[in-house]
Amino acid sequence: MLIPRALCGMARSNKKRTAGFGGSPGKRLARIVVKFGGTSVATVERIRQSARHVKREVEAGNEVCVVVSAMSGKTNELVGWVNEASAFHDAREYDAVVASGEQVTAGLMAIVLSEMGIQSRSFAGWQVPIKTDDAHGAARIVDIDGTELDKRMKDGWVPVITGFQGISPHNRITTLGRGGSDTSAVAVAAAVNADRCDIYTDVDGVYTTDPRIVPKAQRLSKISFEEMLEMASLGAKVLMIRSVEMAMAHKVRLLVRSSFDDPDAPQLAPDGTPGVPGTLVCDEDEIMEKQIVSGVTLAKAEAKITLRDVKDNPGVAAAIFGALADEGIIVDMIVQNIADDGATTDITFTVPDSEYDKAIKTLQAAGTDKRIEYARISGSKGGAKISVVGVGMRSHAGVASSMFKALADKGINIQLITTSEIKTSVLIDEQYAELAVRALHTYYGLDRKDA
């Protein structure tokens, strides 16, 4: 996990300024970074609707800084032109073209806010500046100078910043890669010591599981950074992993909420009771009643590959997964059994179904020229990874075994198991995936009462 070093010094505990969200009955000044995704700024009318959320926060006495994505569809249009221009384009030019999308939204948002009587101005990434490395197309934020933003906010202005982009050491525009606007927002929040970073999107929060599979899925009012990380990396596409990592490192509290809500409807209750719009992603300490399991996630189309009787030398795992990494194959679950004879071992891992054939070929080639010594290779596509996630697992023994029992009760066979501190994952046959998710969701008491 890479977190910009330069930002680390700027982070401070959010404990000093939890005002304005949860726990504090009186209304006190809070500083909020507000981020709007593509669907929230898809048209000028949508920008106006999103701006009303900003206005509400400003009128409540908060200092607000806005980060925007490109209008929905615009980034794809720009990327399409770049690809039409050349399949082998310079990443720096790609960035120059694609970064124009957020520039448009930032200007329009500043105009709309100004018309609502809110002092506002746009900042392109290079104007802040948001300094990045020069990994064009997937740049990392190195430093943000929050001085101007801080001054503006203190003077009652609402800065509007282009998400997804910054400026390289060579004075070229960089982009952070898809979903980078969330990361921009969190980094800006850290740089200006914000009390909260509100991610406005087209869903109203983080759910216990995918509501399309389990209609009884519930929106979580709070979730810890660690849980969110496990949820995000397991397929809950609400927030980008990078932005959650960065938020955790800098203790930036994230609120995931919908920009399609009525901006003028009653907002957060001071005590964070159910009914609050959105899900707060925060430090574990802030969550009073910890659920043992907070969510159940599902990732399909996972292929399983097993290497039998691998010669158990030091560095053998590095040789296997290095060979796969060289081919750009991303490996997910990894299980290594202790060898019976102390000389050989069995190693099983999963890759996306689409990478299965390539992975098999890569390992066969490595076996042929003795880079990796093993007896047999086998595997199959069509697996599904089901995970249960929850910080409560730390203090509750037996979550894993109860999970296995719940699946066994439904006659579902477990092919592979991996565990982390707050997560237990199993690989099962894809055809039982939805059945398994529903069973576990009910088993851990996550079903909505009213459903």
Residue 61 phi/psi, 5° resolution?
A: 95, 10
* Chosen residue from 59, 90, 327, 357 binding a copy of itself by CB under 8 A: 90
Half-sphere exposure of 250 (CA within 13 A, CB side): 32
Contact flags string 149-178 toward a copy of itself, x per CB under 8 A: ----------------------xxx-----
Q: Is 208 helix (H, G, I), strand (E, B) or coil?
A: coil
Residue 95 phi/psi, 5° resolution?
A: -65, -40
Contact flags string 96-125 toward a copy of itself, x per CB under 8 A: xx-xxx-xx-xxx-xxx-xx-----xx-x-
Residue 73 found at the interface with a copy of itself (CB under 8 A): no
Is the distance from CB of 386 to CB of 346 less than 8 angstroms? no
Please say which residue, 90 or 357, places its beta carbon nearer to a copy of itself: 90
Is the distance from CB of 106 to CB of 74 less than 8 angstroms? no
Q: Select from 18-26, 84-92, 225-233, 307-315 the region that touches a copy of itself (CB under 8 A).
A: 84-92
In Å, how far from its chain's centre is CA 370? 39
CB of 135 to a copy of itself, least distance (A): 17
User: Tokens representing 268?
Assistant: 């957060």
Please say which residue, 89 or 300, places its beta carbon nearer to a copy of itself: 89
Residue 84 found at the interface with a copy of itself (CB under 8 A): yes
Q: Select from 57-65, 81-89, 290-298, 354-362 the region that touches a copy of itself (CB under 8 A).
A: 81-89
In Å, how far from its chain's centre is CA 226? 11
User: Tokens representing 299?
Assistant: 């990732």
The single-letter DSSP state of residue 209 is S
Please say which residue, 107 or 272, places its beta carbon nearer to a copy of itself: 107
Please say which residue, 114 or 336, places its beta carbon nearer to a copy of itself: 114
Please say which residue, 48 or 56, places its beta carbon nearer to a copy of itself: 48
Please say which residue, 104 or 213, places its beta carbon nearer to a copy of itself: 104
Residues binding a copy of itself: what is the number (CB under 8 A)? 39
Please give the residues from 247 up to 286 whose contact with a copy of itself meets the rule CB under 8 A. Answer: none
User: Tokens representing 285?
Assistant: 């300490």
CB of 174 to a copy of itself, least distance (A): 13
Q: How far apart, in whole angstroms, are the C-alpha atoms of residue 425 and residue 419? A: 6
| Cis omega (within 30 of 0) for bond into 129 | yes
User: 3-state DSSP helix/strand/coil percent for the chain, to nearest 5?
Assistant: 35, 25, 40
Please say which residue, 126 or 200, places its beta carbon nearer to a copy of itself: 126
Q: Select from 42-50, 302-310, 377-385, 439-447 the region that touches a copy of itself (CB under 8 A).
A: 42-50
Q: How far apart, in whole angstroms, are the C-alpha atoms of residue 217 and residue 209? A: 6
CB of 104 to a copy of itself, least distance (A): 5
CB of 127 to a copy of itself, least distance (A): 6
In Å, how far from its chain's centre is CA 123? 25
User: Tokens representing 100?
Assistant: 């124009």
* Chosen residue from 92, 300, 308, 311 binding a copy of itself by CB under 8 A: 92
* Chosen residue from 21, 126, 225, 349 binding a copy of itself by CB under 8 A: 126
CB of 246 to a copy of itself, least distance (A): 27
Q: How far apart, in whole angstroms, are the C-alpha atoms of residue 198 and residue 204? A: 12
Residue 85 found at the interface with a copy of itself (CB under 8 A): yes
In Å, how far from its chain's centre is CA 427? 22
Please say which residue, 31 or 172, places its beta carbon nearer to a copy of itself: 172
Residue 47 found at the interface with a copy of itself (CB under 8 A): yes
CB of 103 to a copy of itself, least distance (A): 5
DSSP β-bridge partners for residue 352: 302
Residue 241 found at the interface with a copy of itself (CB under 8 A): no
Q: How far apart, in whole angstroms, are the C-alpha atoms of residue 424 and residue 108? A: 45
Angle between helices 91-98 and 74-85 (to 10 degrees): 150
CB of 108 to a copy of itself, least distance (A): 5
Residue 89 found at the interface with a copy of itself (CB under 8 A): yes
* Chosen residue from 82, 187, 412, 440 binding a copy of itself by CB under 8 A: 82
Cα-Cα-Cα-Cα torsion 357, 360, 362, 366, nearest 10 degrees, comes to -170
Type and span of the H or E element at 110: helix 100-115
Q: How far apart, in whole angstroms, are the C-alpha atoms of residue 214 and residue 437? A: 8
Contacts to a copy of itself by CB under 8 A: 44, 47-48, 78, 81-82, 84-86, 88-90, 92-97, 99-101, 103-104, 106-108, 110-112, 114-115, 121-122, 124, 126-127, 171-173
